[in-house]
Amino acid sequence: MNSPLSSSPPAHDTPDGRLDLTLTPVGEPPHLRADAARNRSRLLEVAARLAAERGAANLTMEAVALAAQVGKGTVFRRFGDRTGLLMALLDHHERQLQAAFLTGPAPLGPDAPALERIRAFGAAVIRHEHTHRDLYLAAHAESGRRHTSPAYVLRLTHVTLLLRQARTAGDTELVAHTLLGYLDPTLVHHLLTRRGLSLDRLESGWYDLVARYTS
């Protein structure tokens, strides 16, 4: 596994409203005392088991507290709310994806031209979120914080930086938001299940979209 991933947001807005590009991996749980860290890990283990048994959409804070034999307030204090709990469960999967596009091999990693990395990034995200779709769908279904979450901001920063390296015309930050909208897990799930599209067709659509914005 790669070095620990910082929990600090990877980017912030500058006074002119543009993204300040600083690529910093995210996803590491907050630094806690040893006993608090053990308790957090135990709650996540219980939550992961319940999500596997019942589906992430049916996971509740009360069920986690009951299964872990702790008070409901303990679970709320540790994760804030149900969305916070789901995001914490996604942590491990998201860190794997981050490691792949920040430090992994080409064409997803840094040893490939920017345009090739953008193409590989979208395909990797589509496959990754499809594999873990139960958690992603449950987390994003009720979260109004998706576009401000550290994981999304890192993706935005990464794609914006690659677009600039590829000398893409226009406002690269807005283009990056547009491209990431195509990768929204709820949209991908709809296209796969309701529209009957294949993963290969979605990947081809991503390549076409990237080509149109970077030509």
Domains recognised in the chain with CATH numbers:
28-80 (1.10.10.60), 89-215 (1.10.357)
Sign of the CA dihedral running 6, 45, 86, 131: positive
Model pLDDT, residue 8: 35
Average pLDDT, stretch 67-76? 93
For tokens 């996540």, name the residue. Answer: 44
Name the phi and psi angles at 18, rounded to 5.
-90, 160
Strand partners, 192: none
Model pLDDT, residue 7: 34
Q: What percent of the chain has pLDDT over 70?
A: 83
pLDDT digit string, tens, across residues 101-113: 999 999 999 999 9
Model pLDDT, residue 90: 84
Model pLDDT, residue 98: 93
Which residue did the predictor score with more confidence, 190 or 48?
190
* Residue 197 pLDDT exceeds 80: yes
Amino acid at 154: L
Question: Token digits for 200?
Answer: 């290969």
DSSP state at residue 25: -
* Residue 20 pLDDT exceeds 60: yes
Model pLDDT, residue 9: 39
Q: What 3-state class would DSSP assign to 149?
A: coil
> How does residue 158 score in pLDDT terms, banded at 50, 70 and 90?
very high
Distance CA 49, CA 57 (A): 13
